[in-house]
Chains A and B, each alone.
Chain A
C-alpha cells in the first residue's frame, strides 16, 4: 500500500533563510505527488504537483520540489523564507487510478523566526 513519510514534525527557520521539507513515499508505480499548505483553521492549498516530465517542479509562492525516483523522495524547497510561510505543510501521493485518492503524510509544522 502507498504511504508517505514526513520525517520532521516541526522545523524552525529564520526569516530569509532557505528551507527544505522532506518527503519520502512508498508506491509501486510512478505516483502523482503533491505538496499542500494549511494555515491554522483553514483548508489545504495546493503548492505544486508532479505528474510526469521535468523532475524539478515550480509552484506558487516561490516554492519548488524535486522528484527523485531513486530515493523515493519529493522534497520541498524555498530559497528565502518569509514570515507568512509559517504554516503546516503536507506531502501527498495519489495513485494513478480511479478518483485520484490521496494519501497524506503526517505534516511538517514550519515556524519562522524573525
Chain B
C-alpha cells in the first residue's frame, strides 16, 4: 500500500544535541509537510515543501530546519533541542491542494 513512513517512531535525544527525523512516501505526492503536536493539542504546521520550494511558517523557530533531497524523502532537523521541543512530529503529504495523508509520527523525548 502507498503510504507515508516516519522513522523512528520514538526518538530520545539529549538537551542541545542535534537530532534528525525522517519521512518517506510512496504516494508520489509533490507537497510534504512537517507538523509539531504537543500533548493534548492540535497539530501545528512548521513548514512545507511544495515541490522543491520551501515554505517556512512565520512562527517556526530557527532551531528547526528541513531538507528534501528528492520527491520521496523529507527530513526535519532540530539543531539544539530544548525541553520545550518534546512532542510528536507528524509528516504529511498531498498532491497539490488535495487531502493530506499523515504518517504515524515520531515521538521525540528530550533528556
Give A contacts to B, CB under 8 Å: 32, 34, 36, 41-46, 49, 90, 94, 96-102, 104-107
A32/B97 contact (C-beta < 8 A), A44-B90, A105-B42, A106-B42 known: yes
Partner pick for B99 among A49, A98, A99, A105, CB 8 A cutoff: A49
A107/B42 contact (C-beta < 8 A), A42-B104, A45-B102 known: yes
Residues of B within 8 A of A100 (CB): 31, 94, 96-98, 100
Given contact pairs A44-B92, A94-B97, A106-B42, enumerate 20 new A-B contacts (beta carbons under 8 Å): A32-B97, A34-B99, A41-B105, A41-B107, A42-B104, A43-B6, A43-B102, A44-B43, A44-B90, A46-B101, A49-B99, A99-B31, A99-B48, A99-B55, A100-B96, A100-B97, A100-B98, A102-B45, A106-B41, A107-B42
A98/B50 contact (C-beta < 8 A), A32-B97, A41-B107, A43-B105 known: yes
Residues of B within 8 A of A94 (CB): 97
B103 within 8 A of A: yes
Give B contacts to A, CB under 8 Å: 4, 6, 31, 40-45, 48, 50, 55, 90, 92, 94, 96-105, 107
A104-B99 in contact (CB<8A): no
CB distance from A4 to the nearest CB of B (A): 8
Alpha-carbon distance A42/B105, docked complex (angstroms): 7
Alpha-carbon distance A66/B14, docked complex (angstroms): 46
Alpha-carbon distance A108/B92, docked complex (angstroms): 21
Alpha-carbon distance A96/B96, docked complex (angstroms): 11
Residues of A within 8 A of B4 (CB): 43
Alpha-carbon distance A44/B43, docked complex (angstroms): 10
Alpha-carbon distance A44/B99, docked complex (angstroms): 12
Alpha-carbon distance A42/B9, docked complex (angstroms): 10
Residues of A within 8 A of B92 (CB): 44
